């Protein structure tokens, strides 16, 4: 039977109905978790669908996707790509105290660009004491026209305060600029990860002093049966990093694999990276009724902090992701697929 409960930092508590509610992830890892290796077996419980697009005016919004989320001053700050009929790609901002309130939250356009930009990542960059939004974007005034871009603000709660997008200056791979750009920092450097839709994930680096510019030549980080939406995190209390990256054609149209490394510029080892033993797929995710997704796509782990280190706790790990039923995407162009957002919580009931 589906485990029905509340989303709380550290676990699933009580039989409290189908709506699962997330709170701030502040649980400190146990000594055992801090000393342990990264798990190779995973199991998850899915929430119901929690966030859907709201079409304004005359435009039609097809999907809400590519989530990035930060918990700050008692509220969740959620940034998502919106796909629409009139404007194909832009970023929306929502803020709420509890995930059960997310779908009713007021929607705000992020005004950093009036053109194409999507796949946001948001974090607080402590060395400069400002918020950073990383994304992929296109502007005819840029050379090259498309690539990684950034915007900044001192107030994450004001979607009109973001500075105009600027090119990040990331270097292309064999003429391919990549997509789904992701920045994480260690004590000395900022590291930029991205994929090129050919089974390869790349890494570039710059110093904290030069960030967000000064990127190195791309270096191959992972080569495997992977696709897009790679996200990398520091495991709190451990000298390890975790990368999750989307793949295709396993149990579900889209699913997630996982890799671990001791250094951001080190060798990545598969820890849950096969179709049958994945990080998150339709094989190891249980859903409430009615079923709402047949894919685990473009997901972000809920962080234990807000800063550039992107720490997560293995204890009480949660993931916001985009999902869709196969029947709902059938016959549609990619841009019209009705992606919606939900949450995953580690399944403490086992199989």
Structural domain for 167, as ranges: 6-346
Residue 220 falls inside a structural domain:
yes
User: What distance lies between CA 336 and its chain's CA centroid?
Assistant: 21
Q: What is the pLDDT of residue 349?
A: 54
Are 280 and 255 contacting, i.e. CB atoms less than 8 angstroms apart? yes
Residue 147 falls inside a structural domain:
yes
CA-based nearest residue to 52, from 303, 328, 275: 328
Tell me if the bond preceding 290 is cis, omega within 30° of 0. yes
Residue 31 falls inside a structural domain:
yes
Q: What is the pLDDT of residue 16?
A: 36
Residue 211 falls inside a structural domain:
yes
Residue 351 falls inside a structural domain:
no
Torsion of CA 115, 320, 258, 9, to 10 degrees: 140
Q: What is the pLDDT of residue 190?
A: 98
Name the domain count of the chain.
1
Q: What is the pLDDT of residue 146?
A: 98
Residue 204 falls inside a structural domain:
yes
CA-based nearest residue to 121, from 199, 182, 50, 43: 182
Query: What gap in Å lies between CA 231 and CA 220, rounded to an integer?
Result: 15
Tell me if the bond preceding 249 is cis, omega within 30° of 0. no
Query: What gap in Å lies between CA 92 and CA 56, rounded to an integer?
Result: 12
Are 63 and 338 contacting, i.e. CB atoms less than 8 angstroms apart? yes
Query: What gap in Å lies between CA 120 and CA 135, rounded to an integer?
Result: 5
Q: What is the pLDDT of residue 336?
A: 97
Write out residues in the chain with pLDDT < 50, as ranges. Answer: 1-36, 350-351
Residue 1 falls inside a structural domain:
no
At 153, list the tokens.
Answer: 């603000």
In this structure, what CATH number is given to the domain that contains residue 258?
2.115.10.20
Q: What is the pLDDT of residue 58?
A: 81
Record the pTM.
0.90
Residue 49 falls inside a structural domain:
yes
């Amino acid at each position: 039977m589906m485990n029905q409960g509340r989303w709380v930092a550290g676990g699933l508590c009580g039989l409290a109905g189908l709506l699962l509610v997330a709170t701030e992830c502040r649980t400190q890892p146990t000594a055992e978790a801090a000393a342990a290796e990264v798990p190779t077996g995973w199991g998850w419980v899915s929430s119901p669908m929690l966030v859907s697009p709201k079409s304004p005016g005359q435009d039609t919004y097809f999907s809400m996707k590519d989530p990035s989320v930060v918990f700050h001053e008692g509220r969740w700050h959620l940034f998502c790509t919106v796909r629409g009929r009139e404007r194909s790609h832009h970023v929306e901002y929502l803020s709420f105290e509890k995930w059960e309130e997310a779908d009713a939250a007021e929607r705000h356009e992020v005004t950093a660009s009036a053109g194409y930009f999507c796949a946001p990542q948001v974090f607080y960059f402590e060395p400069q004491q400002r918020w950073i939004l990383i994304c992929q974007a296109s502007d005819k005034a840029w050379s090259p026209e498309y690539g990684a871009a950034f915007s900044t603000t001192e107030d994450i709660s004001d979607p009109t305060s973001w500075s105009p997008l600027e090119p990040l200056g990331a270097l292309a791979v064999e003429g391919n600029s990549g997509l789904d750009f992701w920045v994480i920092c260690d004590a000395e450097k900022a590291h930029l990860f991205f994929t090129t839709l050919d089974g390869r994930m790349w890494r570039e680096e710059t110093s904290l002093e030069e960030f967000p510019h000064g990127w190195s030549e791309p270096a191959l980080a992972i080569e495997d049966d992977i696709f897009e939406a790679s996200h990398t995190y520091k495991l709190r209390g451990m000298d390890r990093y975790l990368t999750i990256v989307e793949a295709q054609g396993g149990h579900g149209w889209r699913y997630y694999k996982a890799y671990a490394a001791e250094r951001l510029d080190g060798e990545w080892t598969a820890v849950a990276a096969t179709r049958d033993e994945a990080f998150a797929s339709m094989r190891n995710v249980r859903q409430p009724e009615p079923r709402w997704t047949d894919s685990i796509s473009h997901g972000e782990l809920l962080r234990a902090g807000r800063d550039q280190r992107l720490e997560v706790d293995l204890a009480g790990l949660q993931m916001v992701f985009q999902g869709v039923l196969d029947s709902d995407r059938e016959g549609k162009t990619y841009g019209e697929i009705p992606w919606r957002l939900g949450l995953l919580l580690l399944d403490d009931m086992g199989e």
